[in-house]
């Protein structure tokens, strides 16, 4: 009789927790609760008969056995992923799987895909919308649009757009009592609601400091965990958020949003097209990369035209 394998879901939870050194981050990656991750890891520890982590106050650390076991688990999962990719290889010429953050997928990929697909007859394109970075060693993706520094081992990265942030709001806030049109001074933002992005926790602080009003306390504050939520809330007139340029060009052109201030704050990170280095010259991937570069370049031109015409 063959040896009984550990629970595979428990192995997946252990691998994610070990890579992040966090049950919370592992839960976010696997779309589970931290409690569920903890229970699965405990089930694995019971199966093995020894602890894999030391649970500290608000963090976890490997035991000696856990450190050794993680290396073996990672190699095994990587090998399964590579074997799966080899099996899928015959269809690669007619299929692309792309991972993108929800805002990029909704605001750029989907609305503009027709022109790309027209140039690629027979292509089946799968778009995965997710907040987490695709793991190219494990996930069945060919390319990803990532936000970051552009340096990832073993991957080819092409810059799509440099990032600046600036306050954006609904035109509704340009009318009536307390209208943004009267905001000749950034400190008047104290009378409004600011919408924060949880993954850019200091962005408003940096912008306010650059505008000369460091430490400003707004009337209300809202925190959301992705750009799509922040922009939707701003469009509804709920508050003012920091929008990422040039990605907001279509909404600004359609006057769904306005930029009440002229100050843009450059971010150190950018949006990148990422794929495995060994596959960077695949014709379909190359075509997608070139199309995205051109698309975002057009957005940059639109932003420059909008900035030149700003009435505020």
| Distance in angstroms between the alpha carbons of the first and the last residue of the chain | 77
Query: Alpha carbon 273 to chain centroid distance?
Result: 12
Dist. CA 62–CA 74, nearest whole Å: 15
308 by DSSP, 3-state: which? helix
The CB-side HSE value for 37 (13 A sphere, CA atoms) comes to: 24
109 DSSP assignment:
I
**Count of other CB atoms within 10 angstroms of residue 171:** 13
Dist. CA 226–CA 195, nearest whole Å: 11
Band the pLDDT of 164: cuts 50, 70, 90: confident
Is pLDDT at 234 greater than 90 in this prediction? yes
Is pLDDT at 2 greater than 50 in this prediction? no
195 by DSSP, 3-state: which? strand
**Cis status, amide bond into 246, omega within 30 of 0:** yes
- Return the pLDDT at 309: 63
pTM of the model: 0.65
- Return the pLDDT at 247: 83
Q: What percent of the chain has pLDDT over 90?
A: 43
Dist. CA 51–CA 17, nearest whole Å: 14
Per the model's pLDDT, the better-predicted residue between 69 and 58 turns out to be 69
Phi, psi (deg, nearest 5) at residue 240: -115, 130
> How are beta strands 124-129 and 143-148 bridged, if at all?
unpaired
172 DSSP assignment:
G
Q: Which pLDDT tens digit goes with each residue over 93-125?
A: 588 999 998 888 888 888 889 989 999 988 999
Q: In what order do the strands lie in the sheet with 265-276?
A: 124-129, 95-100, 143-148, 265-276, 155-168, 240-245, 193-197, 220-224
Could you give the C-alpha distances from 80 to 52, 123, 192, 212, 279, in angstroms and in order? 22, 26, 52, 54, 19
Q: At what angle do helices 8-20 and 23-30 cross, to 10 degrees?
A: 120
Q: Please give the structure tokens belonging to residue 260.
A: 């009440």
- In 3D, which of 30, 245, 233 has the Cα closest to residue 131? 30
Band the pLDDT of 179: cuts 50, 70, 90: low
Dist. CA 66–CA 72, nearest whole Å: 10
Domains and CATH numbers, the chain: 8-87 (1.10.10.10), 94-312 (3.40.190.290)
- Return the pLDDT at 305: 75
């Amino acid at each position: 009789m063959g040896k009984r394998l550990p629970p595979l879901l428990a192995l997946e939870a252990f691998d994610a927790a070990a890579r992040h050194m966090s049950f919370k981050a592992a839960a976010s990656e696997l779309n589970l609760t931290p409690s569920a991750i903890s229970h699965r890891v405990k089930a694995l520890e019971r199966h093995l008969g020894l602890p894999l982590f030391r649970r500290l106050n608000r963090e976890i650390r490997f035991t000696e056995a856990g450190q050794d076991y993680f290396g073996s688990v990672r190699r095994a999962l990587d090998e399964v992923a590579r074997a799966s990719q080899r099996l899928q290889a015959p269809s690669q010429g007619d299929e692309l799987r792309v991972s993108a953050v929800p805002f990029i997928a909704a605001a750029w990929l989907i609305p503009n895909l027709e022109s790309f697909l027209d140039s690629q007859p027979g292509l089946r394109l799968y778009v995965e919308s997710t907040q987490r970075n695709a793991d190219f060693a494990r996930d069945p993706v060919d390319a990803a649009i990532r936000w970051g520094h552009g340096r990832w081992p073993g991957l080819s990265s092409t810059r799509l757009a440099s990032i600046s942030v600036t306050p954006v709001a609904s035109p509704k806030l340009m009318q009536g009592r307390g209208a943004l049109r009267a905001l000749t001074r950034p400190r008047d933002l104290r009378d409004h609601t600011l919408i924060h992005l949880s993954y850019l926790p200091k962005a408003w602080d940096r912008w306010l400091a650059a505008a000369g009003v460091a430490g400003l306390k707004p009337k209300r504050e809202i925190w959301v965990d992705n750009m799509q939520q922040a922009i939707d809330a701003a469009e509804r007139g709920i508050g003012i958020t920091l929008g990422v340029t040039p990605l907001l060009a279509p909404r600004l052109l359609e006057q769904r949003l306005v930029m009440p201030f002229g100050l843009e704050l450059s971010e150190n990170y950018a949006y990148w097209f990422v794929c495995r280095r060994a596959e960077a010259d695949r014709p379909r991937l190359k075509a997608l990369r070139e199309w995205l570069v051109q698309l975002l370049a057009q957005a940059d031109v639109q932003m420059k035209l909008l900035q030149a015409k700003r009435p505020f």
